[in-house]
Amino acid sequence: MTDDKLLAGRGVAIVGGSRGIGRAVAELVCDLGAGVVVNGRDADAVQETVDVLAAHHGSATGLAGAASEEAVAQGLIEKCLDAYGRLDVLINCAGVAEPPHSSILSISASEFDDLIRAHLGTVFHTCRAAAPIMAAQGSGSIINTGSVAFLGDYGGTGYPAGKGAVNGLTVAIAAELKGSGVRANVVCPGARTRLSTGAEYEAHIQDLHRRGLLDEMTMRASLDAAPACFVAPLYAYLASDLAQSLTGQIFLAAGGFVGKFNKPTPQVLGYRDHHDSDPWSVEELHVMIAG
């Protein structure tokens, strides 16, 4: 199968598809033959993207609204079924930035809740709407967007927490749906978008480096990110049958770099059988852990 036919006839719903990484993904999967439903909160941006896709890339339609709302998420899936008669791929690319200078010392409860809703809530509602359809047909690919920010290196609160939760939810979805033939994976992308450009963003990255959170190489890479078209192919690959054996994986893509997180495994620090031993004492734990 040639690349231009890789996704021929597929129905693809893309959340956050009107801008940035989501738009680059929408353009590529259209080029590969899929019919695309573009979702975004800005109705004008959605329509402009749909017009460009239809004129230069392939079949596209749109649905404006915040997919963190259950009705919008359900409507997105229904629109894909109505437009293309099928739902083969769900791609979540939506994201919002942490408030400027946000930290656990300054963020409000409502700001934190908004970030969790935008990231984790969007993935939950769209996956919840798509999963029964995919499971019933015995196939489908869910691709959610995480971030290396979940490691904490970029500071913040709701953004790393939400993206880390997306990782955990996706891995759990993959385990639950594997027997139904449905795959679920995460991409942690690095690309130049409206969220990663501008004087404020650059000052933030430089401040993280100054505080010791980012090393020199990571700082420079963050300030010189490649265009979104460099990460779009990984989404297209995971959407295709070429990746039919991959599920429950967390990938990274930034410019020419592609990587994968290994599944965390515990390092054994000590063991005693609770059937014939007392609990560890605090002093014993200190020696074992810090010693």
Are 40 and 67 within 8 A, CB to CB? no
CA dihedral 225, 5, 38, 20 (to 10 degrees): 10
Catalytic residue among 159, 201, 235, 271: 159
Strands 257-261 and 250-254: antiparallel
The DSSP string of 164-202 is HHHHHHHHHHHHHHGGGTEEEEEEEEE-B-GGG-SHHHH
Q: Which helix (H) or strand (E) holds 184?
A: strand 182-190
DSSP class of residue 62? E
Strands 89-92 and 11-15: parallel
Are 232 and 145 within 8 A, CB to CB? no
> Strand, coil or helix: what is 51?
helix
Cα–Cα–Cα angle for 91, 37, 259, rounded to 5 degrees: 20
How many Å separate Cα 137 from the centre of its chain? 24
235: its two tokens: 């989404």
Q: What are phi and psi of 130, to 5 degrees?
A: -85, -35
Are 122 and 15 within 8 A, CB to CB? yes
- Decide if 159 is catalytic: yes
Residues with catalytic function: 159
